[in-house]
Structure 1
Amino acid sequence: MHPLVRWFHQLGSPPYFDRFAARWAPWAYALGLAVMAYGLWAALFQVPADYQQGDSFRILYIHVPSAWMSMFVFGLMAFYSAIALVWRIKLCEILAMACAPIGAAFTVITLATGSIWGKPMWGTWWDWDPRLTTELILLFLYLGIIGLYHAIDDRRQGARAAGLLALVGVALLPVIRYSVVWWNSLHQGQTISVFGQSQMDASMLPPLFAMIVATKLWFVGSLLARARADNLRREAGKDWVVRMAQERAR
């Protein structure tokens, strides 16, 4: 068996995943905080003010990475859910459900920072703009998945039901992505491209890319930590969990 395939098989083992998550979650958090600290410092003190928006544009360094993460996490959750539904892999159920609260948090940050940014730009905290409205629907989907998962006592049945909702909801992602193209919108069009040419000044991009990396690292740490906690709850009473608790109590 190929070493990578063997590693994926091992990762599906609850004890192995617990050790893996316990080892790497703190590293992901620490690296995420370090990169985030640089990104925020550079965004506040190195980047010049925008010629049109002044200093208010600096909120994009939180808003844009959070918006991208709100969609990325939902897509990943749907991916894990599909694997769990087809192959009945318990770890994928756990990872899918661990994604939901993290993605919901990124969506709340996106909506909040968008409203704060919109006030000086649009003259209002909220407008039923297509991008804002579809992002709000995404938050409701996240909350629906979380609620459905916890409404069913059987954790595996709850994860499967919530996973189906995630798979249906993934159709919203391209609508959010192209809402500013398909409809007249107050929201500005795409000005930042990871792989193509961005319309922002080059001096403004390094802190943004740092924040994009930082949010990814923070997400990995949060995902591992939440999945580990759920894994331990599901495995409570198993011999390996009892042994681990006894070793910690010594």
Structure 2
Amino acid sequence: MTTDIKDRSGQGKGLFRFSAPPVFYPLAGRLAPWFAGIAGVLTVIGLYIGFFVAPTDFQQGEVYRVIFIHVPAAWMSMFIYLIMAFWAAVGLVMNTRLSFMMTQALAPTGAIFCFLALWTGALWGKPTWGTYWVWDARLTSQLLLLFLYLGFIALTSAIEDSRRADRAGAIIALVGAINVPIIYFSVQWWNTLHQGASVSLTQAPSMATTMLWGMLVMALAAWAYTIAVALWRVRSIILERERHTDWVKAELDVQESRA
């Protein structure tokens, strides 16, 4: 049984009606610009706090300021993969096409954040550790996450049958999710060069309040950016997947008339 809805008639109950691409498409178009605007404002505020307001670290000096980009990027790279795994599970259980589309819409952004986390970490590591890269548990498992993202994107793009691609990608997303807790707990399970978490749910933050606020604002900016980009990207995926349906043809006619 499928919960997909084939038209704009609003069939279905509650939030389930948004599982239909024709219903979700216009909603995504209305929400994306708002989240993009929020992301822009929060990014400016977060960078201002991080680079102009936050004090200089007494141990690392000015180089520590990369944390305002590195940490939110690392957080998002892990969380986006878990969200992909969630949508993959929903797609397999509920047989909703939109769930699989969301996994594909999120993957490129997750890969970008993962690469950004590795790149900024290398820039931070050189003055701190004396090297750009070491094969410790945290860095290696984070690199594996990047390969999982790229593998997901490559596999789903290579399979022409969209339903086969959806299910193959869902398997990668679900199996690869095992790597996320390994990344997070690696500094506790193994002896690594990477420092422990500066922010914890069970302990007080090990940084100045201003530093913490700057990092959290940047994390919220990354959240808003991810939502905006994913909504825009899933709209493109919907148009591609549903291009033979009447509602997409009508939508494209409307867009052409406005151009």
How big is the alpha-carbon RMSD for the aligned residues of Structure 1 and Structure 2?
A: 1.2
Aligned pair partner of 2:37 in 5, 30, 34: 30
Please list every run of 5 or more consecutive structure 2 residues that lacks an aligned counterpart in the other structure: 1-11
Aligned residue in 1 for 2:217: 210
Residue identity opposite 2:29 in structure 1: A
Aligned residue in 2 for 1:162: 169
Identity percentage over the alignment? 41
TM-score (norm 1): 0.95
Residue identity opposite 1:26 in structure 2: P
Aligned pair partner of 1:185 in 183, 192, 199: 192
Residues of 1 paired with 2:24 and 2:129: CA distance? 48
1:94 aligns with 2:94: no
Aligned residue in 2 for 1:51: 58
Secondary structure at the counterpart of residue 184 of structure 1: coil
Figure out how many residues of one structure are paired with residues of the other and give that number: 246
Residue identity opposite 2:75 in structure 1: W
Kindly state the Cα deviation for residue 195 of structure 1 after the two structures are TM-superposed: 6.7
Q: Is the 8 A contact 2:49 2:210 kept in 1?
A: no
Residue identity opposite 2:123 in structure 1: I
Residues of 2 paired with 1:165 and 1:249: CA distance? 38
Matches within 5 A, 1:72-221: 72-193=79-200, 196-221=203-228
Specify whether residues 7 and 224 from structure 1 end up closer, same or farther in structure 2 by C-alpha distance, changes over 3 A only. farther
Kindly state the Cα deviation for residue 87 of structure 1 after the two structures are TM-superposed: 1.5
Kindly state the Cα deviation for residue 157 of structure 1 after the two structures are TM-superposed: 1.1
User: Any idea what the Cα deviations from partners look like across 1:114-151, whole Å, max 9, x if unmatched?
Assistant: 00000000111111121100000000111111111011
Secondary structure at the counterpart of residue 23 of structure 1: helix
Kindly state the Cα deviation for residue 35 of structure 1 after the two structures are TM-superposed: 0.5
Kindly state the Cα deviation for residue 222 of structure 1 after the two structures are TM-superposed: 1.0
Aligned pair partner of 2:28 in 3, 14, 21: 21
Kindly state the Cα deviation for residue 100 of structure 1 after the two structures are TM-superposed: 1.1
Residues of 1 paired with 2:83 and 2:203: CA distance? 23
